[in-house]
Structure 1
Amino acid sequence: MNRTAEGKLNIPNVTLAAMTSVNVYETIRAMEYSMRGIAFGDVVLITHRKPLSLPKSIRYSHTSKLDDIDKFNYKMVYELGEHIHTDFALIVHADGFVVNPGSWQDAFLDYDYIGSPWPLPQNDYSYRDAEGRLVRVGNSVSIRSKRLMDFPAKAGLKWEKIEKEDEYNEDIFLCCKYRNVIEEAGMRFAPIEVAKYFGHEHMIPEIMDVEKPFLFHKWRGRNAQYPKFSNPWKVRWQKCKDFVRPFLFWRQK
C-alpha cells in the first residue's frame, strides 16, 4: 500500500469521478468526502455546466445534460472512458462514496470491475449472465479499468434494454448482459469474496462480517450511519414553499 509523505493513501493510477446533472452540490460534497486521506491521480466531475462552487481540486469535464436516467446509463457505458486519463476510475454518486479510506486494498485493482455484492434474486432471470449463471457483484458505484470503460464503444456492443426488465441499466449491461463478451476479451470481474470489502449496498448475509467497507451506496440498514449531504439552498427553498403553500390553497377556495 503506497502512501504520500503526508501519510495519505496514494493511488495515482485511479481517477475519482462522478457523472451527473442532478444533485450536483451534493455530488461535489461526496467527492470531497471521498478525497479524505486519499491522493488520487485525478478527480473529475462530468456534468453539463461548470458549477460556480466547484473546488480547484476537482476538474470539470463537459457532457451534454443528463436530464433522464436513460441518458445517464448510456453515457456511463459509452462515454465515461473519454473523460478518464488514468488506468482506473472510481465512480461515486451523491448517495454512494468512500467512507472508510483505511479499508482500501490494493487487490481491488486486480480487476477491471469491482462494485458491491448483489443479493440472490427472487426470480430465474435477474442478475444472470448470457449463459444463465448468477452474478453476485455489480453496482454503479465501482472501480472500472480504462480498458473496460473504452470496450463497449470499441467492440460495438449494442445498446439494448435488459431482457424481462424492460429498462436500461448500465451496471447490469456490463456485469450481466455482456459479461461473457468482456471476459472473453481478457477482462476480470471481482468475486463477492473481494467485493464485500470494497462496498455495501444491500444488507445481505455475505457482507455482515465486514464492519467497515471502503465505500457504500444507498442509506439502507447499516449504511444509514454514513453522511447525507444536502444543498442549503434547496432546504431554504423548500421551507419557503412550505410556508407559502397554505396561502395558495386559501386563494383557490
Structure 2
Amino acid sequence: MSSSVQDFLQHDSDRPVGITICAVDDITPRLAADALRRSCRKMRFDRAVLLSSSRPGSVAEGIEHIAIPPITSHEDYSRFMLHDLHRHIDTPHVLIVQWDGFVLDGSAWDRTFTAYDYIGAVWGGHAQRRVGNGGFSLRSRKLLKAVAQIAPDQPAGRGEDDLICRILAPRLESEFGILFAPEAVAHRFAYERVLPDARTFGFHGLFNLWRHLGDDELLQVIEDLPASVVTGRDFLQCMACCLGVKRFSMARAFVQRLSAYVDKDRLDAHFRLIGAKPGFAEFLSKL
C-alpha cells in the first residue's frame, strides 16, 4: 500500500479518527480518485472510498473501490446521496469530496467540526440557510440515516445538498436533532464562491482549481473532463482566471479543449456566458 495514502488513513496511535473520506462519481471517477489521493496527503482518515459503477484504471493504493449501480445524471447522484450513501459508511462522519475539490490544509482541521452533523461551504446566493455546499462537506452518519428516511424519492431537479440544507433542514432539526454548522464555522471549514479571509480546511469548485493546482495537474484535469463540463460556465470562469493571473499557456489549453466541442465561429458567442466582449476568441488565439 502506498505511503502517500496509507500513512494518512489513521492516526499514529492507530486510533480511528471516525471519518471516512468518500467520493461518489460515475462521470469522472479517475478525477474523483485524484481528489481523494490529494486529500489523503493532507489529512488522516479511517477509510478512503470511491463509489462508482466501474473501477477507473488509476486508483492509488489505499483507496477502496465499491461498485454501485450506474449514475448517469445529476438526479441519479442526488438520489444516491439521499437514499443509499448511508449503507456504505460505517464511521460516525464522512467527508464528501468531488473531483473539483479536496483537502487543502490538514492543520486547519478542527476537532469541533465533528460536533456538527453537516458542514459545507457557505452559499452566496441565499439570504438564509446558507450552509452549505455538498461538493466538499462533512456529514454525520446520523444525518445520512435521517435524510434517507424523509427525502423524496425524486429530487425534482434540486441538488441533494440544497434539499438537505434548505428544504429538509427544518424537519431534520426538529424531528432528528440534526445540527447544521453556523456560518462562522463553515467559513473556516471550506470555501466555494464566497472567498475566505484565511486558509480553509478545503474547497470546492472547478472555478477555484487554478488557485491550487500547477499547470501540469490542471492540464490533466481539463483533458479528462466530459463535454458537459467543458462547455459549461465554470470551465470558462477557470479559463478567465488563468488569463487574469497571466497563465497564458493554461488559458490556451482551455480554449483548445473547448474547441473540440464549440465551432470556432461560435466561440465568441459562447464566451458571452462569462461577459466577454466580441473579439475575445481572436484575442485568445494571439496569446
Fold-level match, TM-score > 0.5? yes
Secondary structure of 1:65's aligned partner: coil
Q: Are 1:158 and 2:152 matched, yes or no?
A: yes
Using the alignment, how far apart are the partners of 1:135 and 1:11 within structure 2? 32
Give deviations 1:11-48, integer Å, cap 9, x for gaps.
62000000010111111111100001422111110100
Using the alignment, how far apart are the partners of 1:34 and 1:213 within structure 2? 13
Equivalent in the alignment of 2:22? 17
> Is the contact made by 2:38 and 2:103 (CA closer than 8 Å) also made in structure 1?
yes
Gaps of 5+ in 2: 1-9, 226-255, 264-287
Q: Aligned residue pairs: how many?
A: 216
Amino acid at match of 2:141: K
Using the alignment, how far apart are the partners of 1:201 and 1:109 within structure 2? 20
> Is the contact made by 2:42 and 2:103 (CA closer than 8 Å) also made in structure 1?
no
Q: Are 1:199 and 2:190 matched, yes or no?
A: yes
Using the alignment, how far apart are the partners of 1:66 and 1:99 within structure 2? 28
Q: Specify which of 27, 43, 46 is matched with residue 41 of structure 1.
A: 46
| Aligned CA distance change for structure 1 residues 55 and 193 (closer, same or farther; 3 Å) | same
Q: Are 1:215 and 2:202 matched, yes or no?
A: yes
Aligned CA RMSD, in angstroms, stands at 2.8
Give deviations 1:104-154, integer Å, cap 9, x for gaps.
111111100000011143xxxxx6xxxxxx11211112000001111122x
- Of Structure 1 and Structure 2, which has the larger fraction of its residues in helix? 2
TM-score w.r.t. length of structure 1: 0.76
Q: Are 1:63 and 2:50 matched, yes or no?
A: no
Using the alignment, how far apart are the partners of 2:151 and 2:50 within structure 1? 26
Using the alignment, how far apart are the partners of 1:107 and 1:25 within structure 2? 32
> Is the contact made by 1:25 and 1:231 (CA closer than 8 Å) also made in structure 2?
no
Larger RCO, structure (CA 8 Å, separation 6 or more) = 1
Amino acid at match of 1:157: A
| Aligned CA distance change for structure 1 residues 18 and 65 (closer, same or farther; 3 Å) | same
Using the alignment, how far apart are the partners of 1:83 and 1:5 within structure 2? 25
Gaps of 5+ in 1: 122-126, 128-133, 246-253
Equivalent in the alignment of 1:72? 77
Amino acid at match of 1:188: L
Q: Are 1:149 and 2:161 matched, yes or no?
A: no
TM-score w.r.t. length of structure 2: 0.68
Equivalent in the alignment of 1:173? 163
Q: Report 1:130-141 matches (<5 A).
A: 134-140=128-134, 141=136
